[in-house]
Structure 1
Amino acid sequence: MNKHLIAFGSALLITASLPTFADSRVELTVTGKITPSACTPALSGNGVVDFGKISAKDLKPDRHTNLENRAVQLIVTCEASTRFAIKPRDNRSGSSSIPGNISYGLGMINGNEKLGRYFLNFINPVSDIPLTALYSANNGATWGEHLDGDAAIPGQLFAFGSRGDDWAWAPLPLQSVTVDITLNTAIAPTNSLTLTDEVEKDGSATLEMIYL
């Protein structure tokens, strides 16, 4: 499995000689693959989802306040048909206002207060062939169907494909695909926040392309 922009292959020999011993050495081999085609991902709106200003008085004191659902489009274009996956990473890891590892954080305010959380979901993949959104929780060893209501968990792999002859889900080589990424966002209960001053929503995630 090769990461986008990290593809190489080489081998080297490291030799260490001791003063009183003959030809004492160890061998280190470095391997990899050079993919014949590259893929370029792009997000609509430059990947920015702006909720604007929200009045603190409109937020619920004792439970999360859900904001309007938003979506951005991910467009992946490859030089040739290529099998790839998307690996989301939460750049604000540890700041989600709910426990567990299935959501993304909106950043910390006042040093230690978790402002909120959001869920990502990959839906409606469109290409020149019928596709189903897929996920892998074991680094691509096996794949399952990623349903419209499922959360795209940080660190898992997400791809687009179909069932094979063995009825197992698998990513397909694609030259281009467009997919909607939906965001379900909520602000933490205000009884856990200090909102005497204006604060910034600071969610950030990276979508890493992985060549399969």
Structure 2
Amino acid sequence: MMNNITKTACALAVLATTSANVMAENIDVKVIGTITPSACKPVLTGGGTIDYGVIPPASLKKGSLTQLDRKSLDFSITCYAPAKVALKAINGRLNTVAGKGNDGAGSASYIPAGIKRELAHYVVGLGLDGGQRVGGYAIAMTDVTADGKSVAYGFKSLNSGAKWQTYPKSYFYYNVPIISSWFKPSTKEPVAFTNLAGKLNVQAYINKASELDLSNPVKLDGLTTLELVYL
């Protein structure tokens, strides 16, 4: 239906142009349209919410950061036909990561000392509470398959001329803006798929208890938007 509507609109535009300019010595004929890639739909279980529930203030370290447990959601991308896609992470809480300064060019900060780097090396913030930075979190995917087959992880800088590179971990944030995708093992070429599935993992940490007003509830308010990019 969309194709029919598009073709009709183009035909009408040409007719209107030629009719209006029939007496002119020169006329321009524009041929326009759009070729769209196979539509893909990303889905996260749990409404895309990682909930750490109620955290007792007594469990927080007074003079150092407190790392929380890793939590996971099921993540999938379904395409109507084989397609090559990537994900671009958009940090919705810029310059709020605890234990570091402001975010770098990649909208994230290198993970602070005292926090394990098992999931990723870059973190983003959990928002502010009374002007104080609440904490931060790492985000990455694991156990990913494309059409039932294991795939490798890769990313590419958005800088001009950048090339795809593989990495043992899936990165959404880095020291420069990047997009992330998945490759056939031992290649550096994103793979086309109809169904991709895996785990989206988050590991958060909380700022020093001495930096927070724990006499009132403190909300964890992290937000990352994962944007599909067709390749």
Q: State the TM-score bracket (shorter-chain normalisation).
A: 0.7 to 0.9
Q: Per the alignment, in what secondary structure is the counterpart of residue 181 of structure 1?
A: strand
Whole-angstrom distance in 2 between the partners of 1:160 and 1:85: 8
Q: Which runs of 5+ in 1 are unaligned?
A: 1-9, 11-28
1:159 counterpart residue number? 181
1:143 counterpart residue number? 164
1:194 counterpart residue number? 213
Q: Per the alignment, in what secondary structure is the counterpart of residue 184 of structure 2?
A: strand
2:211 pairs with 1:210: no
Whole-angstrom distance in 2 between the partners of 1:65 and 1:151: 23
Identical counterparts, % of pairs: 26
2:150 pairs with 1:130: yes
2:35 pairs with 1:34: yes
Q: Which runs of 5+ in 2 are unaligned?
A: 1-9, 11-29, 109-121
1:141 Cα deviation (Å)? 3.6
1:46 counterpart residue number? 47
2:71 pairs with 1:70: yes
Q: Deviations over 1:88-130 (max 9, x none)?
A: 11111111113252311111001x1000000011222112233
Whole-angstrom distance in 1 between the partners of 2:171 and 2:180: 11
Q: CA distance change for structure 1 residues 68 and 32 in 2, over 3 Å: closer, same or farther?
A: farther
1:46 Cα deviation (Å)? 1.1
Whether contact under 8 Å (2:141, 2:199) holds in the other structure is: yes
Whole-angstrom distance in 2 between the partners of 1:49 and 1:197: 22
2:20 counterpart residue number? none
Going by fraction, where is helix more abundant, 1 or 2?
2
Whole-angstrom distance in 2 between the partners of 1:207 and 1:133: 16
Q: Per the alignment, in what secondary structure is the counterpart of residue 158 of structure 1?
A: strand
Whether contact under 8 Å (1:87, 1:208) holds in the other structure is: yes
Q: What letter matches 2:87 in structure 1?
A: I
**Structure with greater Cα Rg:** 2
Going by fraction, where is strand more abundant, 1 or 2?
1
Q: CA distance change for structure 1 residues 127 and 192 in 2, over 3 Å: closer, same or farther?
A: same
Superposed CA RMSD: 2.4
Runs of 4+ in 1 over 4 A off after TM superposition: none
TM-score (norm 1): 0.77
TM-score (norm 2): 0.71
